[in-house]
Structure 1
């Protein structure tokens, strides 16, 4: 669906791509600044506490984000052994990016609701009839997709399997004696993503959960 925007609504696609890239950058900055707050300056020393997208973007993750709506950036380097207190720091660092994506989803949802109330015809023709015109139509499409994709990014990262943020959140809640075993599971990250891709293709439990979340989001802000 996003690719169709590139051919039919190139200006909207360009604006949306910029918003989504900024969303990925903010996600990683959330991790980096949270780590810095808890005593780890690794990201700062490596020049990753910056809004420059070239420092954060992963080519494959970006392509998938702009085509499939799910992607990733290069993880901000974090030395968890320097976090003080360790478990609290690990929890806050791990959840920071998710909170940012949820906040962005909420802001775009509020913008979508405002457009529905103030520009109902533009929203109707854009989302129902597929006819985009004027600034209100462009803003409707950008808010629609940016809100849904930020919601998906947040929920996707909550899945408690390595190397996703959810696994780090789970670690922060478990006794430290289990942490080395969970860290070792990062080596199987490729298999984690393969399972997730198959789940989405087969419309498995994760896919159904994401569909339910997106439908609930749209009912909340569009009615």
Structure 2
């Protein structure tokens, strides 16, 4: 298989998992925020499974597609990095802002873990019917689904505001420390880019991704 065929196959396998991953991640934030009293996302129509509402043309399409193609051509392996339009949350509207922030932030990574398990079930189904013409595509797409959701989950759990892990840290820290820590937020994206460009980001998150992948493979009894 040449590079072009490999790129087309990779895009076909990753497209659906990526769309589901970002859509459910963002919708989960909005749904939990609504549950705890903030209707901002609900009023803006962001508690929906319609991916168009969550897609950022640059962060969800152009950047991931460009990185995937470049990494396939130069390294032979697909690398994905991107983002969706963040769901608007007015934390002051939550019934208990500091405490409820934890659950609103955790909802996104939680949705990714749930989806990784769903993709594992799809692999299990494909392995159970190996003669079915859809078995191999189901297995390959399921593997892509597990990978992309675990990457998003672990990445978002980094304790860097405004990532979900940063929000969770602000929720858990004592008030004075939480206030000081929250001041990092304007520089959070620059910190993330610096970690990415220096290779430190991969070194930090890869062990956790592999650990979670092994956990899911073991729980669902997958032999892939």
Asked if Structure 1 and Structure 2 have the same fold, meaning a TM-score greater than 0.5 normalized by the shorter chain, the answer is: yes
Contact 2:127/2:135 (<8 A) preserved = no
> What is aligned with 2:75?
none
Segments of structure 1 that go 5 or more residues without pairing to the other structure are: 123-133
Q: Secondary structure at 1:222's aligned position in 2? A: coil
Mean CA deviation greater in 64-73 or 201-210: 201-210
Q: State whether structure 2 residue 63 is matched by structure 1 residue 52.
A: no
Distance 1:4 1:78, change over 3 A: farther
Distance 1:206 1:15, change over 3 A: closer
2:100 corresponds to which of 70, 89, 99: 89
> What is aligned with 1:98?
109
Contact 1:199/1:206 (<8 A) preserved = no
Task: Give, in angstroms, the shift of residue 23 of structure 1.
Answer: 1.8
Deviations 1:175-208 (A, max 9, x none): 2233332332111023222233135478523334
Distance in 1 (alpha carbons) for counterparts of 2:167 and 2:90:
13
Distance 1:51 1:219, change over 3 A: closer
Contact 1:28/1:97 (<8 A) preserved = yes
RMSD: 2.7
Task: Give, in angstroms, the shift of residue 57 of structure 1.
Answer: 1.1
> What is aligned with 1:21?
19
Deviations 1:11-59 (A, max 9, x none): x744641332122011001001111111111112223223332221122
Mean CA deviation greater in 16-25 or 213-222: 213-222
Task: Give, in angstroms, the shift of residue 153 of structure 1.
Answer: 0.8
Equivalent pairs, count: 207
Deviations 1:69-101 (A, max 9, x none): 332211101111111122331111000011110
Superposition pairs for residues 57-206 of structure 1, below 5 Å? 57-63=55-61, 64-66=63-65, 67=68, 68-119=79-130, 134-198=133-197, 200=199, 204-206=203-205
Q: Extract structure 1 runs of 4+ deviating beyond 3 A.
A: 2-6, 12-16, 63-66, 198-203, 211-221
Q: Secondary structure at 1:57's aligned position in 2? A: coil
Distance in 2 (alpha carbons) for counterparts of 1:183 and 1:202:
21
Segments of structure 2 that go 5 or more residues without pairing to the other structure are: 69-78
Distance in 1 (alpha carbons) for counterparts of 2:169 and 2:14:
32
Contact 1:112/1:143 (<8 A) preserved = yes
Distance 1:215 1:118, change over 3 A: same
Scaled by the length of structure 1, the TM-score of the pair is 0.80
Scaled by the length of structure 2, the TM-score of the pair is 0.79
